[in-house]
Amino acid sequence: MEKILVVNHEKCTGCRLCEMACAVKHVGANNPARSRIHVVKWPREGFELPMLCQQCEKAPCIAVCPKNALSRDSALNRVNLNYDLCIGCKMCVIACPFGGMGVDIVARQVIKCDQCDGDPTCVRFCNPGALQFVPASSVNLIKKRTVGVKLAEVMRKAVAA
């Protein structure tokens, strides 16, 4: 089943456990500079937003890659990065509208979220559920139900009155 990684910023507590788990999983060390996910924060208003590769359908990174190192992986519904072909030119880093492509300063290569091949570590560690890996076909239905719970309560009350 095709799944997508969705972010619910309202549930994010800004703990950055996703950043830590991502880095430790991918490089065996904790270093947010090498993490594929980042929580962007506005500390004076308590607003936090996890950001990562959106696995675009018409991905600018794929379009600009001169060596076809980036490609659409339909089996895992993601943008694949093939390090055997990558020359490290960083055009993808420039082209990405979300900052989803990064540079690993230790490994000297570009990095992006690979969704841990179908079992994202960040999602596993996100206790409040701000990160979820859900079927693409029902992502809007899940949201409708979440919002609908509140709406339904109001409507039930209206009917009862």
Partner 1 sequence: MALNRKIAYVNLTTGEIKTAPIPVEMRQLYLGGRGLDMYLLYNHLKPGVDALSPDNVLTVSAGLLVGTPASASARTHVGAKSPLTGFVGSSNMGGFFAPELRFAGFDHLVVKGKAPSPVYLWVHDGEIEIRDGSKLWGEDVPTTQDLIREELGDPEIKALCIGIGGENLVRYANVMTGIKNAAGRSGTGAVMGSKNLKAIAARGTQDIAIRFPKEALEYNAKLLEHIGSTKFAQIMQKWGTMFIYGVTNTTGLVRNRNFQSNQQVGGNIECEHIEEHALGTEGCYGCIIHCRHKYMIRKGPYAGTYAEGPEYTSQGAFGMEVGCNNFETVLIGNHLVNKYGIDTLETGSIIAWAMELYEKGILTDKDTDGLKLEFGNDEAMLEMIKRIAERKGLGDILAEGPLRAAKKIGKDALKYCIQVKGMSNLHSDERPTPSLALGIATGSRGSDHLRSRPAIDLYHLPEKVLRSIYGGPKPYDGPLSSDYTSYEGKPRMVQWHEMLYEAIDCTGVCKFHSVFLSPNLIAFDELSKLIYHNTGLEFTPEEIWDIADRAYTVERLFNLREGLTRADDWLVDRYFDEPTPVGLPIVRGKTLDRAKFKQMVDEYYSLHGWDETGVPKPETLKKIGLDQEPSHML
Q: Which stretch binds partner 1 (CB under 8 A): 16-24, 78-86, 93-101, 145-153?
A: 16-24
Q: Which stretch binds partner 1 (CB under 8 A): 7-15, 52-60, 81-89, 149-157?
A: 7-15
CA 101 to chain centroid: 11
Among 34, 36, 78, 112, binds partner 1 (CB under 8 A): 34
Q: How many CA atoms lie within 13 A of 140 on its CB side?
A: 1
Q: Is 10 in the site for partner 1 (CB under 8 A)?
A: yes
Query: Can you read off the two tokens belonging to residue 76?
Result: 């895992």
The nearest distance, CB 73 to partner 1, in angstroms, is: 24
The nearest distance, CB 105 to partner 1, in angstroms, is: 6
Q: Which of 118, 116, 146 minimizes the C-alpha distance to 130?
A: 146
Query: Can you read off the two tokens belonging to residue 116?
Result: 């841990």
State how far the Cα of 152 lies from the Cα of 98, in Å rounded to an integer: 35
Q: Which of 95, 19, 93, 4 minimizes the C-alpha distance to 50?
A: 19
Q: Interface residues for partner 1 in 78-137 (CB under 8 A)?
A: 105-106, 121, 124-125, 127-128
Q: Which stretch binds partner 1 (CB under 8 A): 22-30, 49-57, 58-66, 79-87?
A: 22-30
The nearest distance, CB 86 to partner 1, in angstroms, is: 21
Query: 76 vs 116, which CB is nearer to partner 1?
Result: 116
- For 45, which DSSP code? T
